[in-house]
């Protein structure tokens, strides 16, 4: 089996991996991106309906505090728009009773990207050579060999079906997923492996939905689309509409722990019932409903990610290391950020750090 040789090998085709590839392409350096899925984006996922793209992964960025995201969006000729927050909110008590409450604007102000967050991935890929991105390429083994690393693609207990070697490897995927799915030779130090396993993968335990409608009936009732529930199955809701035109949407996060989300259809039925309770009968009949359980994505989550995260973690590089094996392997991905970890901003910062 021939071995392909490049200067830099990027493992993972989410935002950090694709941005790293974009930066290397600007320098005209040789690189390859290996993505395990059949698509790019990682936790960025934006299914299309009537030329509108709903974000089932990260939805927002905050220009006031995230200058890398704001600058890159502008540089790529993309446009953002303010999260709709005008009007009153709704609050659901544990007994199901719903009341109208004062609405509020988030601080700092939240923005959405026209075309969905996937528009940023698509735009960056326009500057990356097509043959430099390889989908359906799950990395199973990385071996140190002198001043370079040999990388095998396939399944751990089977013969690899592709091999690469590079002077530099960028691990642009969550540390917990890396430690759980990739074999390293020689073994990584125990303290580094344990640190990687302890870093929770952001969004990996979450499930998210978006329901789209022809009419913004909640806006017509002077509601913002914001709602919080102590009953569930959704704990939090927001307006998820197109910019100043249809389709109009409501999006939310399922509050039920991943271990209890076995029956997707039952859960969707419960979501529609809850929407009707909060917003009235039209809410139970969306034109289309998108649902994504990230805990069931093998290239996002591990069993360790099943317990829900109730607050945003403080992220940092595993064992405070941004690289190992004498600088051959570098960590990227938002969970390894020293600043803005868990956010798209953090993903961009780690890509810049890894590329150097």
Q: pLDDT tens digits, residue range 109-155?
A: 999 999 999 999 999 999 999 999 999 999 999 999 999 999 999 99
In this prediction, residue 143 carries a pLDDT of: 98
Please, what's the b/e burial string for 272-296 (b: 16 or more CB within 10 A of its CB; e: otherwise)?
A: bebbebbbeebbbebeebbbbbbbe
Q: pLDDT tens digits, residue range 52-79?
A: 999 999 999 999 999 999 999 999 999 9
CATH topology agreement for domains 1-44+117-199+307-356 and 45-113+205-296: no
Residue spans of the domains in the chain: they are 1-44+117-199+307-356, 45-113+205-296
Domain 45-113+205-296 adopts which CATH fold? Polyamine Oxidase; Chain A, domain 2 (3.90.660)
Low-confidence spans in the chain with pLDDT less than 70: none
In this prediction, residue 1 carries a pLDDT of: 80
Q: pLDDT tens digits, residue range 295-308?
A: 999 999 999 999 87
Around Cβ 186, how many Cβ atoms within 10 Å?
8
- What CATH number labels 1-44+117-199+307-356? 3.50.50.60
Q: Flag whether the pTM goes above 0.95.
A: yes
Mode of pairing for the β-strands spanning 234-239 and 248-254: antiparallel
């Amino acid at each position: 089996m021939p071995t392909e040789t490049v200067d830099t090998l990027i493992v993972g085709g989410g935002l950090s991996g694709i941005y790293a590839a974009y930066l290397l392409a600007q320098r005209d350096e040789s690189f390859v991106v290996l993505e395990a899925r059949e698509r790019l984006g990682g936790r960025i996922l934006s299914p299309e309906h009537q030329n509108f793209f709903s974000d089932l992964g990260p939805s927002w960025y905050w220009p006031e505090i995230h200058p890398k995201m704001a600058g890159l969006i502008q540089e790529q000729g993309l446009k953002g728009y303010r999260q709709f927050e005008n009007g009153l909110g709704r609050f659901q008590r544990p007994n199901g009773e719903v009341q109208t409450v004062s609405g509020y604007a988030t601080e700092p102000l939240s923005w959405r990207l026209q075309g969905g967050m996937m528009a940023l991935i698509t735009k960056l890929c326009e500057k990356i050579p097509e043959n430099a991105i390889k989908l359906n390429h799950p990395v199973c083994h990385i071996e140190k060999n002198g001043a370079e690393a040999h990388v095998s693609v396939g399944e751990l207990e089977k013969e690899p079906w592709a091999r690469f070697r590079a002077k530099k490897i960028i691990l642009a995927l969550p540390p917990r997923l890396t430690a759980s799915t990739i074999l390293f030779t020689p073994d990584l130090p125990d303290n580094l492996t344990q640190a990687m396993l302890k870093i929770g993968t952001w969004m990996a335990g979450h499930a998210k939905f978006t329901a789209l409608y022809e009419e913004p009936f909640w806006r017509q009732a002077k509601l913002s689309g914001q709602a919080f529930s102590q009953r569930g199955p959704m704990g939090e809701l927001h307006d998820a509409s197109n910019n100043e035109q249809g389709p109009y949407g409501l999006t939310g996060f399922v509050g039920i722990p991943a271990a209890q989300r076995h029956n997707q259809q039952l859960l969707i039925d419960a979501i529609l019932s809850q929407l009707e309770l909060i917003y009235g009968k039209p809410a139970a009949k969306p034109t289309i409903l998108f649902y994504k359980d990230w805990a069931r994505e093998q290239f996002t989550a591990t069993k360790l990610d099943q317990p829900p995260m109730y607050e945003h973690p403080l992220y940092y590089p595993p064992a405070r290391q941004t690289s190992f094996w004498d600088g051959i392997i570098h960590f990227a991905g938002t969970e390894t950020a020293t600043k803005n970890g868990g956010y798209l901003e953090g993903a961009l910062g780690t890509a810049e750090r890894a590329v150097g």
